[in-house]
Amino acid sequence: MTATTPANTNTAMVNRFNHDVQMAASDSRFGLFGVIVRMFLRFFQIIMAVTVIGLYTVDIARARQLGASADPAWIFAVSLASASAALAIFCFWPVKAFIWFLVDLIFMLLWLIVFGLFAAIYRTAKDQKVTKPGWHKPMEGPSLIRMKHAVWVDMVNAVLWFITGVWGAIQFWRNRKLARAGINAYED
């Protein structure tokens, strides 16, 4: 029986890391290019999620200053953006289970719901004021313009999650097909 030494443990960790890097590099037919595209998309998802947090937190703070409860739609948008940023950070590194594409598509649907909620309120506003039952003051001026822009940021989030979902689905089905053919997708 061989004793486990720190050198053997480190070698095993390095081998595991190298295997994960090879997995990442082969996560598409495009090799390293595919990894860079995936990382760019995930980074952009993080940036857009943080943008949504900033856009909608202003209204939550405004409601709190007025002594009112925050609109559930704003809380939903900020919660979704927080979860999106966390998931994008988690998926920034190679994820072995390509079944994650389903999670990406679920997040896309959630972003479409947020888009629909806020588009119904802000995109149809023809005048300079928008009121909603339960609001103490109507939204007007720069706040209204900010929220009209925020609606399109929500749509960009939905599109980004759709792209990563489709990308993941393609990889899932490709690797599944290769596995059925007896080819290891992670070998050179």
How open is the CA angle 165-44-156, to the nearest 5 degrees?
65
How open is the CA angle 100-119-62, to the nearest 5 degrees?
95
182 dihedral zone (left: phi>0; alpha: psi -120 to 50; beta)? left
* CA-based nearest residue to 101, from 20, 33, 167, 29: 167
How open is the CA angle 184-23-5, to the nearest 5 degrees?
105
d(CA 162, CA 104): 7
**Contacts of residue 111, Cβ cutoff 8 Å, sequence gap at least 6:** 80, 84, 154, 155, 157, 158, 161
Hey, where are the domains in the chain?
31-180
**Res 74: pLDDT:** 86
Buried b / exposed e along 123-134 (16+ C-beta atoms within 10 A): eeeeeeebeeee
pLDDT tens sequence across 54-72: 988 988 888 788 787 778 8
pLDDT tens sequence across 129-157: 555 544 545 565 667 777 878 889 999 99
**Span 78-103, mean pLDDT?**
84
